[in-house]
Amino acid sequence: EPEVTQTPSHQVTQMGQEVILRCVPISNHLYFYWYRQILGQKVEFLVSFYNNEISEKSEIFDDQFSVERPDGSNFTLKIRSTKLEDSAMYFCASRRYVDTQYFGPGTRLTVL
Amino acid sequence: KQEVTQIPAALSVPEGENLVLNCSFTDSAIYNLQWFRQDPGKGLTSLLLIQSSQREQTSGRLNASLDKSSGRSTLYIAASQPGDSATYLCAAVYGGATNKLIFGTGTLLAVQP
């Protein structure tokens, strides 16, 4: 059964460093998302991406964040200069049409 | 503001018991609602999706209902098993171009053998 994959599973970085989180959505899906979950808190929407552009972003998704779909299969989230408060689990999700969103296993980001 | 809440925050039941998890949403103009399961440190597994035009959906021992007028959804788990132990999340979609999910805080379920 097709699934969303994410790499790495755990990323440790120093404050101020850039990180890139990678996702491979399900191949025939059209809509792509990033969410994050700070430990003990709700899962929060960050950004949605469709037709090679951002369709919506939350207040959290400031200028330090960017997304890209460089090659038609990968979907990346870049954080330019990480802060301590960026430590969280980051989930990628995808869907085909107006239906279920499928989530990847997540990348745990730890900023020291 | 569109918010989703889940009560109780935690629930412990003996194996074999039927149980109900509750989800409330503030805006009744919901487009659809998804129920997820999350195991510790893991991703989100989709369990059921209910469209706004539907009243309920069933998958195996799981049955989810949706009542837009009261702003509530319930997830019914029949004959619970220890393997059902996990956090259960509900998430509402309010339509628009993006269909972003707005999540509740979850209910941590423990099924005691």
Q: Is A86 helix (H, G, I), strand (E, B) or coil?
A: helix
Provide the pLDDT for residue B2. Answer: 83
- Cα separation of B84 and A49, whole Å? 33
Residue pairs between chains A and B whose CB atoms are closer than 8 Å:
57
Mean of the per-residue pLDDT values for chain A? 94
- The shortest CB-CB distance from A45 to any of B36, B46, B100 is to B100
B interface test, pick of A103, A107, A109, A110 with most B CB neighbours within 10 Å: A103
Alpha carbon dihedral A74, A97, A105, A18, in 10-degree steps, equals: 40
Q: Which residues of A touch B33 (CB under 8 A)?
A: none
Residue B40 DSSP label = T
pLDDT tens figures, A24-44: 999 989 999 999 999 989 999
Band of pLDDT at residue A99, cut at 50, 70 and 90 = confident
Asked if residue A48 lies in contact with residue A71, where contact means CB atoms within 8 angstroms, the answer is no
Flag if B101 and A31 touch (Cβ within 8 Å).
no
Question: Is the confidence at residue A1, as pLDDT, over 80?
Answer: no
In A, residues 47-66, which contact B (CB 8 Å cutoff)?
A: 48, 50, 55-56
pLDDT tens figures, B72-100: 999 999 999 999 999 999 999 987 667 89
Provide the pLDDT for residue B94. Answer: 82
